[in-house]
Structure 1
Amino acid sequence: MNVLVPLTELITYLLFSILIGHVSLQFVSPEKKPSIHSSKRLLLSCVLGIILFTFGPLLQVVAYFGGSVGVAQTLFSVLFTFEIGKAWIAIVWCSILLWLAIYLESSKYIQAVLLFLMVLSIGYASHVASLSFWTGFTSHTVHFLAVTLWAGILIQVSWFSKDSTNWDRFLRWFTPFAVSCMIVILISGIMVMLFVVDFKSYINAWILPYGQMLLFKHISIIPLLVFAFINSILVRKIRKTSTFDPRPWVKAESICLVIIFFFTGILGTLSPPHDIDQTVESEGATNWVIDLLSSPIKQPVNLEITASLQGIVIILFGILFLSMIFLSFYKKKTPALAVVLTICFIISTYLGIMMNIKIM
């Protein structure tokens, strides 16, 4: 279950992204985007997949409570009394209507409205919505929508485009759109995070699995920004002097987004550390963090960033990996190398930061 539920969260993000990217690009005129072909079979499968994979979090709740009162009774209770169950029922109904709308090739406006209702359902079922309904519901919904809009359009133009025609015209509107999405993602993401971990406790939360995944997610955003800069700014310059095909590099950017989706999926299955000391006492600290710090955990938890030669050197290696992404682009190497460098950067930067942490 610990592996299954994060996997369903990851796939849910991907399926929503594919559908939202497809519907969004229908509102863009043909001369401002590459020629894109998403098969109807794929789109219909994505809709059915959303019904299946959004059931993952419900399955986790049923597995948790099912042992005491029975699986059938627990499932009925979760579906009709828990917000997550009500949201899933709404997603199922909207998905059925969306499946029919895509199958019958109905209006793009109908498809957009149904998808938006499904996104609202995701926000309604979120943890932050249960803490402060309107603020949590709005911030999570906006965050999810901005992420899937950006990722969806990237996936469509990189994996489903026939060629790179109209690419310059595409970048003229997509670059400011992507920047706007990133700003919205950062602001809404901070709002969502502050419901769980405040700024003062951010470093202390690293002692817990939730804080670790949050750190991994934030580190992985950095190479994503590098890819965004390459694909929005540097590609324009190189295409003026060559017949460079930018799609492989956009595919690499979309893979970087999938890595972030992976960490986000795990976050959704972990206990939020509203009270770090209480969470450490009840669930314990992360084992590999204890091994890295080589020090017993004291309460109240107080972690501080210090400077160590080993940690600084490892972080410098991370920066070197990041700079080599730019170098691989200029040298026209395969984008697969840039993806490997991204993973190396995430690991190196993470280890460097943890080497500079000390328990006070």
Structure 2
Amino acid sequence: MSVLIPLAEIGTYILFSIIIGHIALQFVPEGNKPRIGISKKVLLLSTLGIYIFSFGPVAQTISYFSESVGLTLATYSVLTDFQVGRAWIFIGFMSVFLWITLLLNGSKYLQALWLILMVLAIGYSSHVASLSFWYGLLAHSAHFVMVTLWSGILIHVAWFSDDQEKWAKFLRWFTPLAILSLIVILISGLTLMIFLVEPKDYVTSWVLPYGQMLLLKHISIIPLLFFAFINGVLSKRALKIPSFNPRPWIKGESIIILMVFTFTSVLGTLSPPHEVEFTVQSEGASRWVEWLLGKKILTVMNLHLIPNFSSLFLIAVSLLFLALILISFNKVKPYIAVFFGLSFVFALYFGLMVSLVSL
């Protein structure tokens, strides 16, 4: 179950991205986007998959309560009394309506309506919404829709388009949209994070599994920004070269997005530590962090971020990998730049982790 739930969350992000990218591109004139060749079967299966994969958080909640009250009662209670259960039922109805609309080639406005309602249901089922309804609903929905909108359009252009003649016109409107998406994602993401982990506890939360995934998610966004800069700015200049093909670099960006989705999905299955000190004392710190620090962590009161030679060396190496992403543009294959992006994430992660000192 611990493996299946994050996989289901990743599937939900990817399938939502495919659907929202398809619907969004319908509102773009044909002359301003590459020719997209996605089949109706893929869209219908994606819509069905959203309903199946979005059951993951429901299954996790049912599993948690089934040990104490039994599977039948736990299932009934979660589906009727919990926001996550009611949201899944609502998503089921909306996905059926969307499936029928796609099958019959219905109005793009109707497709957008069903999709917006499904996104709001995702926001309604979020952890923050269970603590503060309107705050969580709006912030999580905005965060989710902008992430899937940005990545969804990239997925379609990278993996389902078959030409590059209109690339300049595509970048002319997509680059401002990507910048807007990034701004909304950062603001809504920080808003959600502050509600779950206080800024003063951000570093100390790294000793917990939730803090680990939060750190990895934040670090993985950095190479994504570099790929976005390459595809949004440098690609415009490279288009003057007849042999330049932008699609492989867009595919590289989509792979980095998949890494961000992975960390986000695992993060969504973990309980946020509203009080880090209390969580460490009651549940204990991460065994991985304890092994890394070489001692058992009983409190975070004496935990500090103190750079040393090893940490500074790893951070310097991570910055080198980051620079190599830009240097490699149009000089090596994009998958090499993806490797540099992955290397940056783990070099910076270990650089920060070995800076943790428990005095």
TM-score range, shorter chain: over 0.9
Structure 2: which amino acid aligns with 1:155? I
The aligned residue for residue 70 of structure 2 is 70
The aligned residue for residue 194 of structure 1 is 194
Does the alignment pair 1:345 with 2:347? Answer: no
The aligned residue for residue 284 of structure 1 is 284
The aligned residue for residue 217 of structure 1 is 217
Looking at structure 2, the residues matched to 271 and 16 of structure 1 have their Cα atoms a distance apart, in angstroms, of: 24
* Secondary structure in 2 matching 1:110: helix
Residues 224 and 256, structure 1, Cα contact 8 Å, conserved in 2? yes
Structure 1: which amino acid aligns with 2:240? K
Structure-to-structure mapping, 1:314-325, within 5 angstroms: 314-325=314-325
Q: CA deviation at 1:17?
A: 0.3
* Secondary structure in 1 matching 2:115: helix
Structure-to-structure mapping, 1:1-360, within 5 angstroms: 1-331=1-331, 333-360=332-359
Residues 34 and 165, structure 1, Cα contact 8 Å, conserved in 2? yes
Superposition TM-score, scaled by structure 2 size: 0.98
Looking at structure 2, the residues matched to 40 and 330 of structure 1 have their Cα atoms a distance apart, in angstroms, of: 34
* Secondary structure in 2 matching 1:329: coil
Structure 1: which amino acid aligns with 2:33? K
Looking at structure 1, the residues matched to 209 and 10 of structure 2 have their Cα atoms a distance apart, in angstroms, of: 18
Residues 62 and 78, structure 1, Cα contact 8 Å, conserved in 2? yes
Deviation digits for residues 80-124 of structure 1 (CA, Å, limit 9, x no counterpart): 111111100100000000000000000000000000000000000
Residues 204 and 300, structure 2, Cα contact 8 Å, conserved in 1? no
Deviation digits for residues 265-324 of structure 1 (CA, Å, limit 9, x no counterpart): 011111110011111122211111112222332425343221201111111111111111
RMSD (Å) for aligned C-alpha atoms: 1.0
Number of aligned residues? 359
* Secondary structure in 2 matching 1:304: strand
Structure 2: which amino acid aligns with 1:80? T
Superposition TM-score, scaled by structure 1 size: 0.98
Bigger shift: 233-242 or 40-49?
A: 233-242
Structure 2: which amino acid aligns with 1:341? F
Q: CA deviation at 1:240?
A: 1.4
Residues 231 and 250, structure 2, Cα contact 8 Å, conserved in 1? yes
Q: CA deviation at 1:64?
A: 1.1
Structure 2: which amino acid aligns with 1:274? H
Structure 1: which amino acid aligns with 2:357? K
Residues 140 and 188, structure 2, Cα contact 8 Å, conserved in 1? yes
* Secondary structure in 2 matching 1:136: helix
Deviation digits for residues 197-224 of structure 1 (CA, Å, limit 9, x no counterpart): 0111100100100000000000000000
Looking at structure 2, the residues matched to 146 and 79 of structure 1 have their Cα atoms a distance apart, in angstroms, of: 28
Q: CA deviation at 1:12?
A: 0.2
Looking at structure 2, the residues matched to 74 and 132 of structure 1 have their Cα atoms a distance apart, in angstroms, of: 24
Deviation digits for residues 185-208 of structure 1 (CA, Å, limit 9, x no counterpart): 000000010111011110010010
Looking at structure 1, the residues matched to 126 and 21 of structure 2 have their Cα atoms a distance apart, in angstroms, of: 22
Looking at structure 2, the residues matched to 243 and 136 of structure 1 have their Cα atoms a distance apart, in angstroms, of: 47
Unaligned runs of 5+ in 1: none
Looking at structure 2, the residues matched to 299 and 329 of structure 1 have their Cα atoms a distance apart, in angstroms, of: 46
Looking at structure 2, the residues matched to 35 and 174 of structure 1 have their Cα atoms a distance apart, in angstroms, of: 15
Bigger shift: 234-243 or 132-141?
A: 234-243
Looking at structure 1, the residues matched to 256 and 79 of structure 2 have their Cα atoms a distance apart, in angstroms, of: 34
Looking at structure 2, the residues matched to 218 and 300 of structure 1 have their Cα atoms a distance apart, in angstroms, of: 21
* Secondary structure in 1 matching 2:91: helix
Report the identity percentage.
52
Residues 284 and 297, structure 2, Cα contact 8 Å, conserved in 1? no
The structure 1 segments of at least 4 consecutive aligned residues displaced by more than 6 Å after TM superposition are: none
Structure 1: which amino acid aligns with 2:126? S
Q: CA deviation at 1:77?
A: 1.2
* Secondary structure in 1 matching 2:357: strand
